[in-house]
Amino acid sequence: MATNTSQEFDSVIAVCKSLFLKKTKDYGTAWRILRLSSITDQLFIKAQRIRTLEEKKISKVGEGIIPEYIGIINYCVIAMIQSGMGETDPLELEPGSVEKLFDEKVNETKELMFAKNHDYGEAWRDMRVSSLTDLILMKVFRVKQIEDNLGETVASEGVNANYQDMLNYAVFALIKLELKP
């Protein structure tokens, strides 16, 4: 397996972005109606389903964990976009604007990933996919607590940093699962 993290990251994101833009064409930006707490709950549902599938090893719906990790990435992007928009921003966004916002949030997150990879020495490569799932769930619970605290933190990073971490963990899981475009 190649270990060019930048190319692997971009490959995973290409799959996610393609689906995101196709769904934008189908549904528009209906997700703009969601409050951040609802997006956090969607992330919880997806991560919890992955964990259940990892433990039970069988899906009664017919979809495995890869689509759920893709969903986590795309919902993290949605959350980061939503957190930067206000109530006066339009609910329906132009597809070109959505693509630009998607790229902006992913690029910011990729930069963070490289900074952390430098400091951690790409330790994620030696981790189990199930541990990445658990880290995503932990981050979801952190975000829920921050939301319950009305966004106030005393000594912790805010929700966007947690969304970025979840996105990166999901990318790492998909790299380890060898998702290809």
pLDDT at position 63 is 81
pTM as predicted: 0.94
E strand or H helix that includes residue 169: helix 159-176
Q: What is the DSSP secondary structure assignment for residue 127, as one 8-state letter? A: S
SS3 for 8-74 is HHHHHHHHHHHHHHHHHHHHCCHHHHCCHHHHHHHHHHHHHHHHHHHHHCCCCCCCCHHHHHHHHHH
Identify the helix (H) or strand (E) that includes residue 119. helix 95-120
Binned average pLDDT, 10 residues per bin, the chain of 181 residues: 81 98 97 96 97 88 90 98 92 96 98 91 94 98 94 86 97 92 65
Report the amino acid identity of residue 106: V
Cα–Cα distance, 54 to 50 (Å, whole number): 6
CA 132/CA 66 separation, integer angstroms: 13
DSSP code for 92: S
pLDDT digits (tens, 9 = 90+) for 130-156: 999 999 999 999 999 999 998 888 888
Dihedrals φ, ψ of 42, to 5°? -65, -40
Of the CA atoms within 13 Å of residue 148, those in its CB half-sphere come to: 7
Compute the distance between CA of residue 19 and CA of residue 13 in angstroms, rounded to an integer: 10
120-144 in b/e form (b: 16+ CB < 10 A) is eeeebeeeebeebbbbbbebbebbb
pLDDT for 118: 85
Angle between helices 95-120 and 65-83 (to 10 degrees): 110
